Amino acid sequence: MNHQQRLAESAERAKQAEARGDEGLAAREWRSYRFIRDAARDPEELLAEGISLSMQAIELAAANR
Cα separations in angstroms, 32 against 8, 11, 13, 65: 11, 9, 10, 35
The pLDDT score that the predictor gives to residue 65 is 83
Number of domains in the chain: 1
pLDDT tens for 5-49 read 999 999 999 999 999 999 999 999 999 999 999 989 999 999 999
Alpha carbons within 13 A on the beta-carbon side of 35: 7
Q: Which residues constitute the domain of residue 40?
A: 3-63
Residue 40 DSSP one-character state? T
Q: How confident is the model at residue 43, as a pLDDT?
A: 94
Query: In whole angstroms, how far apart are CA 50 and each of 10, 11, 63?
Result: 24, 24, 20
pLDDT value, residue 53: 96
43-59: average pLDDT: 96
**Residue 29 near residue 14, CB atoms below 8 Å:** yes
